[in-house]
Structure 1
Amino acid sequence: MSLSRKSRPARSLARAAGVLSLVPVAAMAQDQMVALASTQPMEAVVVSATRSPQPRSSVLADVSVIERDEIERAGVFSVADLLARQPGVQISRNGGVGNNTSVYIRGAENRQVAVYLDGVRVDSQTSGGAMWEQIPIEQIERIEVLRGPGAAVYGSDAIGGVVQLFTKRGAGPMRASASLSAGTYNTRQGQVSLSGGDGAVDYSLSASHGRSDGFSAKTDAGSNPDADGWQRGSLLARVGWAFAPGHRLDATLQGSHVRAGYDASKTLDDVARHELRTAALSWQGRWSETSESRVQLGETNSVYELQPSYYRAETTLRDFLAQHELRLGSQRVTVAVERREDKLDLVSPTTKVMPVLRDGRFQNGVMAGWRGDFGAHSLQVHARHDHDSEFGGKSTGSLAWGWRFAPQWRASASAATTFRVPTLYQRFGPYGVSTLVPESGHNVELGLRWAEGGSEAGATVWRNDVDNLINFGGAGPCPNKTSCYANVGSARLEGLTLDGRTRLAGMSLRGSLDLNNPTNQDTGRQLARRAKQVATLGADTAWGGWNLGAEVQTVGARFDKEDNLQRLGGFTLFNLVASRSLVPGLELQARVDNLADKAYETARFYGTAGRTLLVSLRWTQQ
């Protein structure tokens, strides 16, 4: 089903800067919905902003949500590709699915975004941040994206944002479902699932497998021109038990593996292997209408391995969270204690410091938060203190204010401090420098939002200054001698996001516009692989029994490296999707991405997909 590729330039959508955007900001926090169901039966709930459920309309942060139906309509094979269509988010990838991927929220580095899967932290102790290529999108039911700082709630790493991913929770009579997909590059994937619940016990089981011949990961003349395919699989088991009124236990096991080709040499078939395993056990207890507690234990194991030039890195992360919330009229008080332990096993030609990496490190955190609503005004304060076994104590805080000055209008303002400690690899690996210090940030932002009926629009302006920025650079006091990590100075991340949605003439319209200025303050240069302008526009309608949709995404020019010498051209992508119900419970969907067959790069000399077609058939037991 391979389609031809052309390199015609596409017209920039950035000139249409007046278009507002739609973001699905009405979040459905499935694990927390029960807590508010009796008092907010019709209002959506989010948990990512404060780690506690709260109505979307009261959130004093910039949050959007992606539900399962949008995930299926997107027709993508990675969480990162889905996030790239959200306001304030950009990505870069070294080739196709399964290759190294970075997600930038409001211009922040990949390592400066905290990621959670069913409340369990997902991170890597090599370069830092989630390895997005490991996360199985086919198991994800809902995603919450918090744009902006979250360290005062989540601790280290949440400088630019927080991403919460949730798997499916069973409910109601036992129901089976299955899907099959096939498309360009001989891509095919299948998934089966079984879920249900009787009010006391609920369960969700799912398995998937897919593969693709892919395209060449690198495009420069000195690389192997072969197609670099991928294959992957995932398993999920989740069970919940409401063992007493107001009290519930949940257990989740998730495992995924990815095997993907990449080009490191001219002749060898280089292969990267990924594994991600997460486990969580949590208890939630409601003591009264105003008092709730939550305790969670979690572990993540992330493996990244290269062949035939052997390299293997394995991160093990364990975390513990105990949180209690008390509601007093229109006020809410939250306290929490948290512990995180990191270890890294590294096998490469230069692993002289493996014992130090294996010893790992830990962080202990204490957090307190308060929220008060006083008529049209809301005030929210969070303070947190973390003790790191290597760097000692670090305190962070946030202050947010909201003002509903008219029934449809709300203004907000906030300020926060953040930090991120260096990874074990950055300090003790072959390119590591033990004297690195934590990155720290100071963020301020203003927001304005309007909502009425099914329409809404918003504007957010922010500035985030990050000091002691860690970069991979030249010679220094590391074992490699010629290339070392270093604290190189500071960065300023600032910008404006416009977003909105509405219905017009039988169509659902959505769009966003991001104007960014991610700058190295010491050199005045633009930060690598981040564009200054990004715009999206989408429309959906129903016609003749079909559900039809179209999307346009424009990304401005970027630079591959921070010296700003290697420019990556801007690009515009056009996508189409159509679906219809064949019989009750059986749906057919066809999707075309990159309709104009645009040739573009998100990283210099690394390939991207041309025009692609994906056809999916989904069945759900009725």
Structure 2
Amino acid sequence: MNSRSTLLAPASAALLQAVLGASPLAAQASDTSIVPLNEINVTGSGLPTEVLNSPSSVTVVNNEEISRVPPSSVAQLLRDVPGVRVTESGIERLRIRGESSQRVAIMIDGQRISDHTTYGTPILISPTEIERIEVVRGPSSVVSGNRAIGGVVNIITKRGADTPVEVTASAGYLGANDGYRASASIAGTVENFDYRLSYSQSDLGDRETPNGPLVPSGSEDRDINAFLGYRFGNHYIGARAQDYDLSADVYTGDPAFDISLPKRDLRKYSLFYEGENLTPWMSLLKLDAYTQTIDRQFRNDITFPAGPFSMNVLSMSDDEQTTRGIKAVANLEFAAGHRTVVGLEYEDDNLQTRKNTTTSMMPAFGPQSVSTSFADASIETSSLFAQHEATFGRLTGTVGVRYYNVSSNLGSYSQNGVAQPGQSNSDDRWLGSAGLVYRLTDDAVLRANISQGYTYPSLSQLFLTSTGGGGTLIGNPNLKPETATNYELGARIDRGSIVLDAALFYTRSKDYITAIGTGIPRQSIYQNVNSVDSWGMELAAEFDPGWQNGIRPYLSVANVNREFTYANGFTTRDSGTPDWTGVAGLRADWTAGGVGGTWDLFVRSESRATERNDAGVVVEETGGWGTLNLRGSVDLTDYAGLTFELGNLFDKSYRPIDQIEGPGRYLSVFLTTRF
């Protein structure tokens, strides 16, 4: 272990000792705590476990918390989770502990959304369809599979309702983009059947900033979901269908550089079976299968100087990505104090892509150059995994292992109508994890965790030649997977009047895939050349000091340090990741005249950030920033409620690194009714 990680144990113990030394208070924390440690999660260990007792760094955003926030997007629901940052490139994506969205697994009901672009995995679901979200920070590929070096976001969707018929409608204004979102659903349970049918739509205009609108930067989405389930005895079967359409414009700040995503659509169908307590030693058997198709269109139009002329490059890409997967998981309990999860997964991921690039001189000079290509490539991934948990008194230990077998193939590839040779790549390996949780008291634990992460190259990185931004990226069929090993120490407390979740981590990653110049201007090829050391801390806490009106201070903060080592040996800590990110505020419940609700006054901030390339040259640099915000809710009746957010109250101009300029002062307000 790196010497930095040896600092984790005493620091964690000192933190816990300081908190445990505080005198207990009679006041109780609200159910809307930012750290719901009594929530059950499965993503962290593969077994149903309270967050308090999980060996991993886990945060659960539950339905209560989701309902208190104007539903602008899924990413915005997670932006205050420690270590999570939202990036914007037309479509919002998530980074965890500084890792790019390409290294973060995004799942819907445990089924991964695969992606083969250089931008990373988008979140293709409406926020109004979500029951809860489980976020695991740090490498966790043993339980969660491929692309989980940075972490995992597992989105659990809504099913039926407690009554035969429940109708919900929501509509509101989103001031940051002068847009709206509206949704409606009907759900219920009739005898052994439960069902849900829902529709959601949003239309967001250009981002409104203190310096004027960012043109273009708008987006639209539309989501239709249908679910049907049937329970008989201790068996449950269900089917779900989703039809999601998304389009967006990417703000570049350069009128000579235009990027748009006319289509990023998802069609998904899934079936599952859940059997509970089928035998005295099998508490759960779950089988699921799904097929999903993602249609993606990409348009890139750039003009740049070329001697006495200007050169225009118009690139178009039309992709169809089809993924089929099956998964079987069993939870076993052969003896008291012992639990085991075993499972197998198979995924067949196919990509067909058509690209067209037209290059012309301006003013018109000579003929246009037109380049076309077609590729049909696929990845097959098979894996087996098991994780065992054993409890001995106050100590609970877990150990897990996963075996991967991956093969990829470029079935057909042609450039300008000329067939190119086929290519292939494969990998197989074992990954492991181990964790300890020591229960000091019924409401306080210490934990330690070692986990490994794994990211297999995308089909674009392996086989495809892509043009964008005036440059060309060439795939490399000899790439190796990226891997990471993570070490953590942490402490959790849930005493009613104080809730705390703290972690210290160190992660060593290697074989990072990046684009390296070939010596030809504006041409690069993917290579495994970079390594990264990451270390830092995460803290989420809420405290009820017994103040009048139940006001509670809270804090959610992360310190992430990353040291890049490039192919040429140059090392820098200017990795483009802010050292500090977080939110701190005061909140409370309120009642007046028979009406109640919540309010939340908070500051969201980031420290300055700098990114240097392998020559030590600054690529991007931003200053630190902070905004004051007010969020709240009003429970109008038992069946109707209002949520609102006043963002950036002082209309501060700011730009987080790797994002567009932040919104100026704005108001978002939503009305939800249920009957």
- Is residue 2:63 matched to residue 1:86? no
SS of the residue aligned with 2:68? helix
Distance 1:618 1:352, change over 3 A: same
2:559: which partner in 1?
A: 515
Distance 1:518 1:91, change over 3 A: farther
What does 1:530-609 correspond to in 2, within 5 Å?
Answer: 530-543=577-590, 544=592, 545=595, 546-560=597-611, 562=613, 563-603=617-657, 606-609=660-663
- Is residue 2:141 matched to residue 1:151? yes
> Which residue among 227, 231, 234 is the counterpart of 1:238?
227
User: Once the two structures are superposed, what CA deviation does each residue of 1:536-586 show, in whole Å capped at 9, x if it has no partner?
Assistant: 113322332442221211111112554544211111122112322333312
2:526: which partner in 1?
A: 485
Distance 1:484 1:359, change over 3 A: closer
Q: Aligned-pair distance for 1:468?
A: 0.5
Is residue 35–residue 540 contact of structure 2 (8 Å, CA) maintained in 1? no
2:538: which partner in 1?
A: 497
The 1-side partners of 2:204 and 2:532 are apart by 39
Distance 1:268 1:512, change over 3 A: closer
Is residue 218–residue 607 contact of structure 1 (8 Å, CA) maintained in 2? no
1:26: which partner in 2?
A: 36
**Bigger Cα Rg:** 2
The 1-side partners of 2:658 and 2:379 are apart by 35
The 1-side partners of 2:258 and 2:523 are apart by 28
The 1-side partners of 2:522 and 2:105 are apart by 31
What does 1:68-79 correspond to in 2, within 5 Å?
Answer: 68-79=63-74
1:317: which partner in 2?
A: 323
Distance 1:107 1:215, change over 3 A: closer
Q: Aligned-pair distance for 1:474?
A: 2.2
2:92: which partner in 1?
A: 101
| Greater alpha carbon shift after TM alignment, 268-277 vs 401-410 | 268-277
What does 1:172-321 correspond to in 2, within 5 Å?
Answer: 172-173=162-163, 174-184=165-175, 185-198=177-190, 200-215=192-207, 226-242=215-231, 244-263=232-251, 266=255, 271-272=260-261, 273-286=263-276, 287-291=278-282, 292-307=284-299, 309=314, 310-321=316-327
The 1-side partners of 2:392 and 2:266 are apart by 45
The 1-side partners of 2:582 and 2:653 are apart by 18
Is residue 63–residue 132 contact of structure 2 (8 Å, CA) maintained in 1? yes
> Which residue among 366, 379, 390 is the counterpart of 2:397?
379
| Greater alpha carbon shift after TM alignment, 345-354 vs 524-533 | 345-354
Q: Aligned-pair distance for 1:597?
A: 1.6
Is residue 253–residue 279 contact of structure 1 (8 Å, CA) maintained in 2? yes
Q: Aligned-pair distance for 1:217?
A: 10
The 2-side partners of 1:319 and 1:418 are apart by 21
SS of the residue aligned with 1:70? helix
2:460: which partner in 1?
A: 425
TM-score when scaled to structure 2? 0.80
Q: Aligned-pair distance for 1:82?
A: 2.2
- Is residue 2:62 matched to residue 1:55? no
The 2-side partners of 1:204 and 1:296 are apart by 19
1:9: which partner in 2?
A: none
Distance 1:77 1:334, change over 3 A: same
Is residue 217–residue 228 contact of structure 1 (8 Å, CA) maintained in 2? no
> Which residue among 337, 346, 349 is the counterpart of 1:339?
346
User: Once the two structures are superposed, what CA deviation does each residue of 1:341-380 show, in whole Å capped at 9, x if it has no partner?
Assistant: 111122222687644xx23020110111110011011110
> Which residue among 159, 167, 178 is the counterpart of 2:157?
167
- The structure whose RCO (Cα within 8 Å, separation 6+) is larger is 1
The 2-side partners of 1:396 and 1:180 are apart by 46
The 1-side partners of 2:383 and 2:78 are apart by 29
User: Once the two structures are superposed, what CA deviation does each residue of 1:99-146 show, in whole Å capped at 9, x if it has no partner?
Assistant: 1434221122211111110121112022274213x3322222211101
Q: Aligned-pair distance for 1:200?
A: 1.2
Is residue 514–residue 530 contact of structure 2 (8 Å, CA) maintained in 1? no
1:367: which partner in 2?
A: 385
The 1-side partners of 2:61 and 2:226 are apart by 22
Structure 1, unmatched stretches of 5+, are 1-16, 28-42
Q: Aligned-pair distance for 1:313?
A: 2.8
Structure 2, unmatched stretches of 5+, are 1-14, 20-28, 302-313, 358-370, 408-424, 466-472
Distance 1:156 1:267, change over 3 A: closer
The 2-side partners of 1:314 and 1:301 are apart by 7
The 1-side partners of 2:513 and 2:574 are apart by 13
1:444: which partner in 2?
A: 487
TM-score when scaled to structure 1? 0.86
| Greater alpha carbon shift after TM alignment, 584-593 vs 159-168 | 584-593
1:397: which partner in 2?
A: 432
Is residue 587–residue 599 contact of structure 2 (8 Å, CA) maintained in 1? yes
Distance 1:304 1:320, change over 3 A: same
- Is residue 2:445 matched to residue 1:410? yes
Distance 1:498 1:235, change over 3 A: same
- Is residue 2:39 matched to residue 1:44? yes
Which AA in structure 2 matches 1:608? Answer: G
1:388: which partner in 2?
A: 406
SS of the residue aligned with 2:112? strand
- The structure in which a higher percent of residues are strand is 2
Root mean square deviation, CA, Å? 2.9
The 1-side partners of 2:538 and 2:214 are apart by 40
Which AA in structure 1 matches 2:584? Answer: L
SS of the residue aligned with 1:517? strand
Is residue 210–residue 665 contact of structure 2 (8 Å, CA) maintained in 1? no
1:14: which partner in 2?
A: none
Distance 1:217 1:437, change over 3 A: farther
What is the percentage of aligned positions where both structures have the same residue?
24
